[in-house]
């Protein structure tokens, strides 16, 4: 029972629209491209585990993805939380590739690169212990349903190789979910929360969920002059299309798309926000005011106001 589904973070949506519209010569381009790559990989890693959740038939159990809760003056986030009748399971997802070596005694996690150089990462065991403590504290503070809390750290990248020195049974590759989750359900037998309580808890947590809004354009102070205007080709994605006879044509691949302005307006929404004026639409879509007005209507944009200061809301 998915109470809080996967939702692509605001800043990831923004990066996907922004990076292709920046010059590769821009000083920020490589940095933003790297952030995009890492954020996209992390999100896709979380979503990829749904394959195993479906195989395990977890639909009866309330599940929340990317849950972010306020605990006092700070926030904590859980990649996936599954509310079983006898145990609450926190799953932390890592999407790092390569040879990963974890030393349980020291908490040291390193990745060995092709040239033999070691890259150090934070201790995932400590990370989930903190999440477990924060979640337990949150439940007690709000007088919510209690249950034992267990944790798993899943290295979801298909090219991850995991070597563990010592005892760290909760650090696993995705396929081990097929063994670990049933084992946890059998391990905790003394507690049994009824389904209505679990659903009520899940719904409370979903209402308390506070997604993190990170605005890349504002954080990096990116001016509009650094962002390319135009309607990107909906086929090759490499060039801006030309408006010809109520149609859009790509000068590179010759692809034609009558409604190519709709994804372009979605780019504008992700970069600048949902409000757009006729003047902004003219500049961004590279068309005349009359054409801009027509395109905004065909894209289903709602007009707000009747004067020259009127705006359109991009759906």
- The pLDDT tens digits of the residues spanning 163-192 come to 999 989 999 999 999 999 999 989 987 778
Cα separation, 142 vs 135, whole angstroms: 11
Query: What's the pTM value of the predicted model, to 2 decimals?
Result: 0.89
Is the pLDDT score of 74 beyond 90? yes
Is the pLDDT score of 56 beyond 80? yes
Any idea what DSSP says for residue 57?
T
Give pLDDT, residue 122: 92
Residue spans per domain, the chain: 2-208, 229-313
- The pLDDT tens digits of the residues spanning 89-98 come to 999 999 998 8
Using alpha carbons, select from 232, 214, 219, 213 the residue that is nearest to residue 22.
Answer: 232
Q: Counting Cβ atoms within 10 Å, is residue 225 exposed (0-12), middle (13-18) or buried (19+)?
A: exposed
Confidence label for 263 from pLDDT (cuts 50, 70 and 90): very high
**Is the separation of the CB atoms in 69 and 75 below 8 Å?**
yes
What percent of the chain shows pLDDT beyond 70? Answer: 100
Fold of the 229-313 domain: Arc Repressor Mutant, subunit A (1.10.10)
Confidence label for 24 from pLDDT (cuts 50, 70 and 90): very high
């Amino acid at each position: 029972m998915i109470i809080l589904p996967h939702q692509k973070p605001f800043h990831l949506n923004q990066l996907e629209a922004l990076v292709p519209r920046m010059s590769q010569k821009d000083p920020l381009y490589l940095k933003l491209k790297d952030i995009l790559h890492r954020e996209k990989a992390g999100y896709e890693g979380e979503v990829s585990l749904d394959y195993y959740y479906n195989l395990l038939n977890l639909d009866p159990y309330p599940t929340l993805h990317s849950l972010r809760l306020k605990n006092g003056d700070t926030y904590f986030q859980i990649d996936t939380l599954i509310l079983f009748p006898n145990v609450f399971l926190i799953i932390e997802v890592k999407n790092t590739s390569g040879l990963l070596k974890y030393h349980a005694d020291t908490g040291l996690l390193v990745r060995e690169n092709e040239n033999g150089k070691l890259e150090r990462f934070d201790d995932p065991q400590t990370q989930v212990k903190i999440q477990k403590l924060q979640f337990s504290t949150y439940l007690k503070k709000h007088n919510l349903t209690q249950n034992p809390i267990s944790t798993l750290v899943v290295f979801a990248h298909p090219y991850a190789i995991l070597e563990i020195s010592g005892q760290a049974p909760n650090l696993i590759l995705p396929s081990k979910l097929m063994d670990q989750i049933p084992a946890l359900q059998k391990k905790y037998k003394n507690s049994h929360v009824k389904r209505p309580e679990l659903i009520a808890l899940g719904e409370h947590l979903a209402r308390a969920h506070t997604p993190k809004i990170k605005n890349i354009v504002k954080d990096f102070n990116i001016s509009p002059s650094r962002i390319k205007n135009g309607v990107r080709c909906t086929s090759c994605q490499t060039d801006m299309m030309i408006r010809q006879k109520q149609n859009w044509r790509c000068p590179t691949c010759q692809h034609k798309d009558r409604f190519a302005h709709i994804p372009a307006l979605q780019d504008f929404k992700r970069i600048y926000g949902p409000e757009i004026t006729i003047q902004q639409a003219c500049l961004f879509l590279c068309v005349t005011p009359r054409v801009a007005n027509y395109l905004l209507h065909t894209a289903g944009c709602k007009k707000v106001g009747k004067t020259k200061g009127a705006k359109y809301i991009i759906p």
